[in-house]
């Protein structure tokens, strides 16, 4: 935000920004902060408290418009969705009117790579002849999928994953309580957008807890039960690939945590809220076993991405997770 804050303070506002970064890194958070800052009435915008800031946050500000993917949706699988020329024409029509109640009209285009060629060309005309009091913010995971002519008309800002302590302090500034901020920062893999979403919506943490519990059950289960689990995950994969890949990522992180605990670096684990379970579980495995499980989880993920038979890949994984001995999991 600092670059944007400085530009705002100096009155050096670009007519169009292009925010580039991986899913959930915080592109939408930054775009919404900018939209609030542009329309905020306070001396140090965005204050987050004035009517204008609250309306933007609640997606009810008449001068802030979102097109493309809904906020929070980074789905890379919905590539068949297109942002059409009609949508861009509507947007241009609105852009030509003065702001209804704010200082600026802000158009956020989420998933700008989804612009059809026609739509991108149409948008380009607007970017070349910018109206005053209108700011475009384009969000994309990959700006190479956008026409170079569009990219060249925007101020490009690349967002990279942050260090865990940076996420933690950003969450703290947003009023998230310290223990939760610490946990979310570690779980976020540097993606502030995810951390902010998870702070506001418990279902993300619940889903993560469910995936870890599933792993703990598998560790204790016999082969029959493990094959049932493989079958369930395989059928889930046919409907929601990313959910299963996310499960495998969480499992891999869990076993990495186990390595850290075994090596005496328990303070560095990702799953800091489950440190007691990790400590307990670490007694059942040695380092080579934990490393081997990580390799098998990674191999299963690779095979799924390469469209191998999902059931087979997951069954192989299930066979390769060594059973934990008598361990009580919390």
Q: From residue 126, give the alpha-carbon distance in Å to each of 103, 129, 287.
A: 19, 5, 59
Q: In terms of C-beta density within 10 A (0-12 exposed, 13-18 middle, 19 or more buried), how is residue 71 classed?
A: middle
Q: Which of 20, 53, 176, 294 binds Zn ion (CB under 5 A)?
A: 53
Nearer residue to Zn ion within complex by CB, 50 or 151: 50
- Minimum Å distance from CB 99 to Zn ion? 15
First to last CA, the chain: 40
Looking only at residues 22 through 51 of this chain, which bind Zn ion when binding is defined by CB under 5 A? 40, 42, 47, 50
Q: CB under 8 Å to 195, separation ≥6 — which residues?
A: 167, 170, 171, 184, 185, 187, 188
Query: For residues 59 and 263, which CB has a smaller minimum distance to Zn ion in the complex?
Result: 59
Piece in contact with Zn ion (CB under 5 A), picked from 8-16, 53-61, 138-146, 311-319: 53-61
Q: Name the residue nearer to Zn ion (CB basis): 9 or 276.
A: 9
Shortest Cβ distance from residue 15 to Zn ion (Å)? 22
Tell me whether residue 38 or residue 248 sits nearer to Zn ion (CB atom): 38
Shortest distance (Å) from residue 42 CB to Zn ion: 5
What is the distance between the alpha carbons of residues 94 and 102, in angstroms, rounded to a whole number? 14
Nearest distance, CB of residue 35 and Zn ion, angstroms: 11
Q: How many residues bind Zn ion (CB under 5 A)?
A: 5
Sheet of strand 16-20: strand arrangement: 64-68, 105-110, 134-140, 16-20, 155-158
Cβ atoms of 47 and 38 within 8 Å: the answer is: no
CA distance linking residue 251 with residue 253, whole number of Å: 5
Q: How far is the CB of 36 from Zn ion (least distance, A)?
A: 6
Q: For 50, which DSSP code?
A: S
Is the separation of the CB atoms in 269 and 185 below 8 Å?
Answer: no
In the complex with Zn ion, which residue's Cβ is closer, 40 or 233? 40
Q: How far is the CB of 39 from Zn ion (least distance, A)?
A: 8
Cβ(257)–Cβ(271) below 8 Å: yes
Q: Is residue 216 part of the contact set for Zn ion (CB under 5 A)? A: no
Q: Per CB under 5 A, does 124 bind Zn ion?
A: no
Closest to Zn ion by CB, 52 vs 87, is: 52
Cα Dmax for the chain: 70
Helices (H) and strands (E) counted in the chain, each on its own, are 15, 5
Per CB under 5 A, contacts with Zn ion among 74-113 are none
Q: How far is the CB of 177 from Zn ion (least distance, A)?
A: 23
> Residue 61 or residue 262: which is nearer to Zn ion going by CB?
61
Nearest-5° Cα angle at 115, 307 to 17: 110
CB 60, min distance to Zn ion, A: 14
- Nearer Cβ to Zn ion, position 42 or 275? 42
* Residues near Zn ion, by CB under 5 A: 40, 42, 47, 50, 53
């Amino acid at each position: 935000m600092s670059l944007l804050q400085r530009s705002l303070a100096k009155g050096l506002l670009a007519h169009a920004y292009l925010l580039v970064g991986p899913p959930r890194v915080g592109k939408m958070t930054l775009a919404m902060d900018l939209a609030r800052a542009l329309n905020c009435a306070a001396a140090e915008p965005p204050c987050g408290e004035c009517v204008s800031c609250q309306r933007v946050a609640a997606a009810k500000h008449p001068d802030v418009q979102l097109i493309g993917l809904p906020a929070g949706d980074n789905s890379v699988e919905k590539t068949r969705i297109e942002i059409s020329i009609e949508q861009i024409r509507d947007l241009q029509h609105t852009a030509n009117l003065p702001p209804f109640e704010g200082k600026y009209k802000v158009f956020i285009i989420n998933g700008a790579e989804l612009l059809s060629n026609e739509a991108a060309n149409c948008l380009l005309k607007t970017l070349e002849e910018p109206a005053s009091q209108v700011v475009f913010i384009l969000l994309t995971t990959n700006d190479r999928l956008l026409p170079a002519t569009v990219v060249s008309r925007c101020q490009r800002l690349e967002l990279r994953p942050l260090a865990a302590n940076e996420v933690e302090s950003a969450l703290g500034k947003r009023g998230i309580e310290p223990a939760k901020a610490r946990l979310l920062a570690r779980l976020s893999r540097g993606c502030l957008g995810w951390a902010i979403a998870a702070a506001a919506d418990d279902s993300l943490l619940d889903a993560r807890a469910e995936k870890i519990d599933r792993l703990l059950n598998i560790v204790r289960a016999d082969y029959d039960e493990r094959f049932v689990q493989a079958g369930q995950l395989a059928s889930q994969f046919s409907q929601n690939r990313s959910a299963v890949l996310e499960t495998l990522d969480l499992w891999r992180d869990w076993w990495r945590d186990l390595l850290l605990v075994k090596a005496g670096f328990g303070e560095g684990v990702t799953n800091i809220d489950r440190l007691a379970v990790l400590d307990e579980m670490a007694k059942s495995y040695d380092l080579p076993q934990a490393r081997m499980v990580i390799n098998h989880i990674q191999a299963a993920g690779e095979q799924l991405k390469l469209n191998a038979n999902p059931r087979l890949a997951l069954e192989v994984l299930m066979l390769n997770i060594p059973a934990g001995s008598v361990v009580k999991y919390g």
